[in-house]
Amino acid sequence: MDKLIIRGGRKLSGEVSVSGSKNAALPIFCATILAPGLHEISNVPFLRDINTTIKVLESLGAVVEGNGHVVRIDATNVNNVEATYDLVKTMRASVLVLGPLLARHGRARVSLPGGCAIGARPIDQHLKGLKALGAEINLTHGYVEAKARQLKGARINFDMPTVGGTEHLMMAASLAKGETVLENAAREPEIVDLASMLIQMGARIEGAGTDTIRIQGVSELSPVSYRVMPDRIEAGTFMIAAAITAGDIRIANMQLEHLDALVFKLQDAGVDIINKEGVVRVKGPKKIRSMNIKTRPYPGFPTDMQAQFMALMTVADGASVIAENIFENRFMHVSELLRFGADITVEGNSATVKGVKKLSGAPVMATDLRASACLILAGLAAEGETEVSRIYHLDRGYESIEKKLAGLGADIVRVKE
Ligand code: EPU
> 13 C-alpha vs ligand 1 centroid, how far in Å?
33
Residue 184 carries which DSSP code? Answer: S
> 136 C-alpha vs ligand 1 centroid, how far in Å?
24
pLDDT value of position 278: 85
Q: Is 27 in the pocket of ligand 1 (CB under 6 A)?
A: no
Please say if 116 is a catalytic residue.
Answer: yes
Beta carbons within 10 angstroms of residue 128's beta carbon: 16
Residues 6+ apart with CB under 8 A from 395: 47, 48
CB < 8 Å & 24+ apart, contacts of 88-92: 88/56, 88/112, 88/113, 89/113, 89/114, 90/52, 91/26, 91/49, 91/52, 91/53, 91/56, 91/396, 92/116, 92/121, 92/164
What's the pTM? 0.98
Farthest CA pair distance, the chain:
64
Q: Which residues of the chain have pLDDT under 70?
A: 115
N- to C-terminal Cα separation, the chain: 5
Q: Are 128 and 58 in contact (CB under 8 A)?
A: no
> 161 C-alpha vs ligand 1 centroid, how far in Å?
9
DSSP 18-70: --B-HHHHHHHHHHGGGS-SEEEEES----HHHHHHHHHHHHHT-EEEESSSS
Q: Is 318 in the pocket of ligand 1 (CB under 6 A)?
A: no
From the number of C-beta atoms within 10 Å of its C-beta (0-12, 13-18, 19+), residue 216 rates as middle
What is the distance between the alpha carbons of residues 330 and 84, in angstroms, rounded to a whole number? 27
Which atom of ligand 1 is the closest one to the Cα of 49?
32
Residues 6+ apart with CB under 8 A from 62: 32, 33, 73, 74, 75, 77, 78
Render pLDDT for 93-138 as a digit per residue (tens, 0 to 9): 999 999 999 999 999 999 998 767 888 789 999 999 999 999 999 9
Q: Measuring CA to CA, how many Å separate 3 from each of 388, 402, 403? A: 6, 11, 14
pLDDT value of position 67: 73
